[in-house]
């Protein structure tokens, strides 16, 4: 008998067809957002689930879905999943690392450039019909070349951003839970600094680290007060790493010059006060949103699921202590 699988949101049709060759699949190609109760109903009799960041997999859901053996998230991050609860119940959790590093790094540097050069502010002004003549001081922005970029979270994506920054002759400093190996540090020409020192020294502060209890509101009012008044904050990590209310207050007061944000607390129900600010560039969590990368992510999750429910050893297992199917 085929194992039963639920795909919680829309994926590419060819990958859905591949999954159907192996499993009894229920899909959601209509891409309906599933409320918690609807998600439980969808997964109740399933052995596997291919999930997205909007799907909350917690103890309450797992208790009502005892057949689950594998959760394959179509993302690098997995803060939507209670991994500890899954481990206790013998449910494998997988993610999609390594396939979106360059794409997300490109978006991070796009936000650096767009915020520094006031691109969205200038475009909105132009579209509103305000441009009547050229002016010497029109939309003066921040210099990127030779500026100091502080990267908080120097994993694969952080290192990819650093390599791009070297093309702009930027000075790289970083803060990480663990200092990089000497050869990796040399490759990105990065200097390790304590977080407070990095915040004081950097012209641009880039956040690229996972969200968890330790990183919740890592950047709040205190940390923003340490930054230069000319500094720009870029967040392509996860909502919750930044205290959004404190950031809005800092932007309104001019305590920092600007921010470029791909992620928010409580997204998509983000703090609408951001919309009143001209010195912030806002995009809706599109860090990995290229066709090629999203296809790689979906295929990685597909391959993870096939392996999880056939061999019990998917290649990108997060909770490695769960090594076999139940």
> What DSSP state is assigned to residue 212?
S
SS3 235: strand
Q: Give tens-digit pLDDT for 203-242.
A: 999 999 999 999 999 999 999 999 999 999 999 999 999 9
Question: pLDDT by residue (tens digit) across 40-96?
Answer: 999 999 999 999 999 999 999 999 999 999 999 999 999 999 999 999 999 999 999
Residues 205 and 19: their CA atoms lie apart, in Å, by 41
Confidence label for 1 from pLDDT (cuts 50, 70 and 90)? confident
Question: Is the pLDDT at 326 greater than 80, yes or no?
Answer: no
Strands 171-175 and 190-192, sheet pairing = parallel
Query: Among residues 24, 15, 11, 65, which one has the least CA distance to residue 309?
Result: 24
Question: CATH homologous superfamily for 4-99+291-310?
Answer: NAD(P)-binding Rossmann-like Domain (3.40.50.720)
CA dist., res. 240 & res. 79, Å (int)? 11
Question: Token pair for residue 106?
Answer: 């490109």
205: enclosing H helix or E strand = strand 204-207
Q: Is 320 exposed, middle or buried (0-12, 13-18, 19+ CB in 10 A)?
A: exposed
Structure confidence at residue 324 as a pLDDT band (50, 70, 90): low
Cβ contacts of 208 within 8 Å, gap of 6 or more: 108, 151, 152, 153, 154, 155, 157, 158, 161, 236, 237
Judged against a pLDDT cut of 90, whether residue 323 lies above it is answered with: no
Q: Rounded distance, CA 325 to CA 69, Å?
A: 6
Query: Is 9 tagged catalytic?
Result: no
In the chain, residues under CATH classification 3.40.50.720 are 4-99+291-310, 101-282
User: For 232-268, how does the pLDDT look when each residue is reduced to its tens digit (9 = 90+)?
Assistant: 999 999 999 999 999 999 999 999 999 999 999 999 9
Among candidate residues 121, 201, 223, 267, the one labeled active-site is: 267
Dist. CA 192–CA 198, nearest whole Å? 9
* 93 and 86 Cβ atoms separated by less than 8 Å: yes
Residue 71: name the closest of 297, 31, 56 by CA: 56
Rg over alpha carbons for the chain, rounded to the nearest Å, is: 22
Q: Which of 46, 238, 255, 317 is catalytic?
A: 238
Give yes or no for residue 325 having a pLDDT over 70.
Answer: no
Return the structure tokens found at 274: 């951001």
d(Cα 257, Cα 155) in Å, to the nearest integer? 26
Asked if 285 is an active-site residue, the reply is yes
- Angstrom distance (rounded) from CA 146 to CA 167: 10
Please report the sign of the dihedral spanned by the C-alpha atoms of residue 238, residue 243, residue 248, residue 254.
Answer: negative
- Homologous superfamily assigned to 101-282: NAD(P)-binding Rossmann-like Domain (3.40.50.720)
pLDDT digits (tens, 9 = 90+) for 117-163: 999 999 999 999 999 999 999 999 999 999 999 999 999 999 999 99
Q: How many Å apart are CA 34 and CA 118, to the nearest integer? A: 37
Of 9, 175, 285, 317, which is the active-site residue? 285
Give residue 221's pLDDT. Answer: 98
* Displacement of CA 111 from its chain's centroid (Å): 14
H-type alpha helices, 169-290: 182-188, 195-201, 221-226, 244-253
| Bridge partners of residue 242, in order along the sequence | 219
Q: Give the helix ranges, DSSP H, for the chain.
A: 13-22, 36-43, 59-64, 83-88, 101-116, 119-127, 156-166, 182-188, 195-201, 221-226, 244-253, 291-310
């Amino acid at each position: 008998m085929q194992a039963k699988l639920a795909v919680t949101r829309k994926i590419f049709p060819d990958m859905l067809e591949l999954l159907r060759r192996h499993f009894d699949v229920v899909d959601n190609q209509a891409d309906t957002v599933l409320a918690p109760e609807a998600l439980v109903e969808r997964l109740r009799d399933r052995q596997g689930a291919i999930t997205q960041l909007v799907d909350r997999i917690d103890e309450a859901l797992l208790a009502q879905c005892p057949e689950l053996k594998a959760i394959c998230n179509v993302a690098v991050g997995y803060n939507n999943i209670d991994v500890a609860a899954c481990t206790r119940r013998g449910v494998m959790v997988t993610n999609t690392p390594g396939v979106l590093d360059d794409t997300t790094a490109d978006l991070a540097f796009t936000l650096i450039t767009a915020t520094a050069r006031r691109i969205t502010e200038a475009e909105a002004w132009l579209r509103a019909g305000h441009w009547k003549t050229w002016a010497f001081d029109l939309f003066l922005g921040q210099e990127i070349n030779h500026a100091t970029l502080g990267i908080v979270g120097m994993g694969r994506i952080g290192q990819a951003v650093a390599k791009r920054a070297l093309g702009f002759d930027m000075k790289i400093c970083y803060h990480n839970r663990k200092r990089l190996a000497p050869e990796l540090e040399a490759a990105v020409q990065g200097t390790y600094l304590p977080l407070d020192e990095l915040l004081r020294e950097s012209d641009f502060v880039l956040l690229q680290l996972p969200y968890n209890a330790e990183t919740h509101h890592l950047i709040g009012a205190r940390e923003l007060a340490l930054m230069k008044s000319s500094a720009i904050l870029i967040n392509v990590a996860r909502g919750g790493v930044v205290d959004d209310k404190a950031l809005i207050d800092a932007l309104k007061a001019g305590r920092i010059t600007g921010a470029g944000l791909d992620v928010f607390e409580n997204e998509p129900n983000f703090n609408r006060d951001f919309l009143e600010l001209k010195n912030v560039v806002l995009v809706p969590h599109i860090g990995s949103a290229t066709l090629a990368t999203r296809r790689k992510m979906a295929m990685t999750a597909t391959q993870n699921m096939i392996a999880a429910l056939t061999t019990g050893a998917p290649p990108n297992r997060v909770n490695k202590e769960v090594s076999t199917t139940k």
